Amino acid sequence: MDSGLAAVLGAIVGAVGTGATGVATALLGRSAARHQAQIETLRTLRESRKAAYLAFAEVAERYLDLLSTTLLPIGRIERFPEQRENLIANAHNHWKRALRYRQNEVQRARTVLALEATRPVADAATVCSAAFALLSHAAGNTIAGLKGEALDSGPLKSPNAGFVDLLAENGMDGHDPDLELLRKQAAQAYTVFLQTAADALGETALTPAR
């Protein structure tokens, strides 16, 4: 091979090598950009879900507080019979306030959560909501019994036979349920929701802002 041909071949090989290196670099750069985009998408999704979980946790905590406050005057009736009518009226007012909160804030938070939540978190939220609804129905039934009249539950369905059956499944008297036990079960369901949401986010805890 003469020197002229060797020089031409060397130039071709060099050009091919340079081109291959350029293509490889471009491919690596494109792959890195795609990977970064995926990371950013996942980060945005995680933050969106975290916001939805915290929003639900915050309103659920507030709702449980309202229901717990409803139970306080009910528990005082036997100790203060002379205040019976006032205590019943007080319990009824607290119950109506909790009901309005459920119809508005809680429902909105549940709607957002349904759009964002993973299956385990959605299931935990459903269990939590069911426990809260059971407590609300039980408190409402108790107040109605004390007042001797049905309570207006607005657009939400009034307690029915299914509610009584559900209490029976939990080992309770459907017509005289243990309100404190139901409150504890609701609080436990709320704790499970927090832990499930934290696990889904890869965090040690998920605590709503106060």
What is the mean pLDDT for each group of 10 consecutive residues in the chain (210 residues)? Answer: 55 54 64 61 77 95 97 94 95 95 92 92 94 91 88 63 68 77 95 94 76
Q: Where are the domains of the chain?
A: 52-201
Contact 178, 172 (CB under 8 A): yes
Block residue for tokens 């696990």: 199
The token pair that represents 102 in the structure block:
């459920």
Distances (CA, A) of 93 to 45, 46, 70, 73, 90: 40, 39, 8, 11, 5
H helices then E strands: how many in the chain? 6, 0
Please report the pLDDT score of residue 8 as a whole number: 47
Count of residues for the chain?
210
Please report the pLDDT score of residue 169 as a whole number: 73
Element (H, E) at 204: none
What is the separation, in whole angstroms, between the first and last Cα of the chain? Answer: 84
Of 93, 166, 91, the C-alpha closest to 133 is 166
pTM (2 d.p.): 0.76
Within 10 angstroms of residue 153's Cβ, the number of other Cβ atoms is: 18
